[in-house]
Structure 1
Amino acid sequence: MLRRSRVPLYLQVASLMRQKIESQQWAYGSQIPTLDELEKEYEVSRITLRAALNQLEESGIVRRTRGLGTFVAKDLSSQRWFKLPNTFEELVDTVANLKIRLLHIEPAQHRLVPAFPFGKVGPAYHRLRRVHYHDDVPYCLIDIYLDKVIFDSDPQAFSNATVVPQLAARTDIAIAGARQIMRITVSDEDTAGHLDIGVSDPIADVCRALVDEDDRIIYYAHIQYPAQMIQIETDLMTDARRRRKVRPSA
Structure 2
Amino acid sequence: MPQPTPPVASAQTRDKLYLQLARLFRNKITTGEWGVGQSIPTVEELEDLHKVSRTTVRMAVHALVDEGLLETRKRGGTRVMGQPYKPPSFLLPTSWKELVAFGEQIQQTTLRTIKDSVPPIPSGFPLPGEMAPAYVHLLRVHTHGEDRFCLSELYLEQTLYAQIHPQLQHATLAQALGSHPSRIATARQHLSVAPADELIAQHLSVQLGTPLMQALRWACNPQGLIIYWAKVRFISEYVHMEMDLLK
Normalising to structure 2: TM-score of the pair?
0.75
Q: Could you tell me how far 1:71 is from its partner in structure 2?
A: 5.7
C-alpha distance in 1 between matches for 2:190 and 2:218: 9
Inter-CA distance 185–102: structure 2 relative to 1 (3 Å threshold): same
Query: Is residue 105 from structure 1 mapped to residue 108 from structure 2 by the alignment?
Result: no
Measured in 1, the distance between the counterparts of 2:210 and 2:57 equals 16
Contact 1:108 1:145 in 2 (8 A): no
Write the mapping of 1:1-250 to structure 2, written as runs, cut at 5 A: 9-10=17-18, 12-26=20-34, 35-50=43-58, 52=60, 74-76=84-86, 79=87, 81-109=89-117, 111-115=118-122, 116-117=125-126, 118-170=128-180, 173-238=182-247
Please state whether the residue corresponding to 1:215 is helix, strand or coil: coil
Q: Hey, what's the Cα distance between the residues in 1 that align with 2:62 and 2:203?
A: 19
After superposition, the C-alpha distances for 1:216-247 in whole angstroms (9 at most, x for unaligned) are: 11111111101122212121112xxxxxxxxx
CA deviation vs aligned residue, 1:153-176 (integer Å, no higher than 9, x gap) = 2434325431101110136x5211
Give ranges in structure 2 of 5+ residues lacking alignment: 1-15
**SS of the residue aligned with 2:185?**
strand
Question: What number of residue pairs does the alignment pair up?
Answer: 225
- Going from structure 1 to structure 2, the CA distance change for 1:154 and 1:29 (only over 3 Å counts) comes to farther
1:75 CA displacement: 1.8
Cα RMSD of the aligned pairs, angstroms, is: 3.2
Moved more, 124-133 or 84-93: 84-93
DSSP 3-state at the match of 1:200: coil
* Corresponding letter in the other structure for 1:193: Q
Gaps in structure 1 of 5+ consecutive residues? 1-7, 239-250
Percent identity among equivalent residues? 30
Structure 1 CA distance, aligned partners of 2:56 and 2:162?
52
Distance in 2 (alpha carbons) for counterparts of 1:189 and 1:42: 29
Pair 1:190–1:131, CA change in 2 (3 A): same
